[in-house]
Structure formats: structure tokens, C-alpha cells
Amino acid sequence: MPEWITVLLIATGAGLSVPAGAALASVERIRPDWLEAELRHSVIAFGGGALLSAVALVLVPDGMEGLPLVASAGWFVLGGLFFFGLDWWLARKATSASQLAAMLADFLPEAMALGAVFASGSGTALLLAVLIAMQNLPEAFNAYREIDASTRASPARILVTFSAIALLGPAAALAGFFLLVEAQAVVASIMLFASGGILYLVFQDIAPQARLERHWAPPLGAVGGFLLGMIGHGIIGAG
């Protein structure tokens, strides 16, 4: 099977976690209310743990291998500043899709990096795909809840939108596979740019939302999300 088809299939699998997370948010209703709140906060925290594992185990280590230290630091800071600017702009617009925009802002660069890393033959490509899927699920869950609470759009319409968004991941991965395979410095820059943005997102948005008074499942969810990244790194990254 041609390599680009493999990339397409892997990226599609990672992207399908977007409509899966939205579908879970559309049907999940648990009583009593405190249990539903704890589950929601735990899902958000799990996503934060998965995002941190992607930064710590794949994006920053692989990115810094391809660039000098000063350039690595520069792209990392630029990513954080870009996400800050995006967050500030969305807050001024008071849009109902801020979580969705944040999800896309880290999903698409990661998917592009995935295609390029796969083309380079790196053993971290499959791990990166798993981590993308892990983080997309809770991010989409949270984004669906935000849109559903602030608009009159029907659940079916929202789910169709999220399903269409999932197709952007394979497209970005194929672009990375064909266009960036010989541009390792560019791939490293994308990884570090995404890392800075993800770190901003985790501490600005995800971590504050995950906290719940007198409940301890959410922080354990963050531990679980990072733990799965560690296990994947041990199994796939060492392969």
C-alpha cells in the first residue's frame, strides 16, 4: 500500500475523534447533576493531560532536534503569543466557537507535522497520531458543549460541522507528507509553534475549567491523560 494512503488512513482515524467527542457530548446526560459536572470536568482535564504529553514527549523533543536552541525558543514563544492573540481576539468577539477555534489551531499544525514526520520515517509518527486523537476527543466534547449552550443550532447540524472539520486533519497531513518531507526545519518550527500554543491553551483555558471544588476526579483525569501518552511513548516511541 502506498505510504500516502497509510498517512491518509492514520490521519483520518485521528480526525474521527473530533465527531466522536462531539457525539459523546450530545448524548451524555448523567444524574445526579454533580456527577455529570464531575465527568465533564474530568474529560476536560484528561484532554489537558493528553495535550501536555504531546508537548513533552513528541513535539518539543522532536522539534528541538531539528533547530538550534535560539530558533527553537523563538518558535515556541511565537506559538504562545499567537494563541494569546487568538484568545484575546475571540474574547473581544464573544464568539460561541472559541473552544472550536482553539482545537483547530493546534489540530491542523499537528496533523501537518504528522504527515511530514511519517514521510521522514520517524518512529514517533504513530505516537503523534495517537496523541492527536486523545486530545481531539475531549477538546471536541468541550467545544460541542460551548456551541450547544450558546446557539440555537440543532445537535444534528453541530455534529455535521464537527464531522466536516475532521476531514481537515487528513488534508493537512497529506500536505505535510508531500510538501514538507524535505523541509525538516519547517516541520520542527511547526512542532515548536504548536507546543507554545498548546501550553498557553492548557493553562489559560483547560486547567481553570477542569478544577472543581471538593472533587478530585478531574486532576486524576489529567494524570490519566498524560499516563496514556507515556504508555504510548513507551510502546510506540521505543519501537
At 172 the pLDDT is 92
pLDDT tens, position by position, 171-222: 999 998 888 877 888 888 988 888 888 888 777 766 555 455 555 555 565 5
CA distance 23 to 30: 15
What average pLDDT does range 131-149 have in this prediction? 82
Which of the 8 DSSP states describes residue 68? -
CA distance 141 to 209: 13
Residue 208, judged by CB atoms within 10 A of its CB (0-12, 13-18, 19+), counts as exposed
Place of cell 460551548: 146
- Calculate helix-pair angle for 155-166, 125-150, nearest 10 degrees: 160
Average confidence score pLDDT of the chain = 78
How many structural domains is the chain composed of? 1
> What is the biggest distance separating any 2 CA atoms in the chain, rounded to whole angstroms?
54
Range of the domain at 127: 3-237
Q: Hey, CA dihedral for 176, 204, 100, 143, is it positive or negative?
A: positive
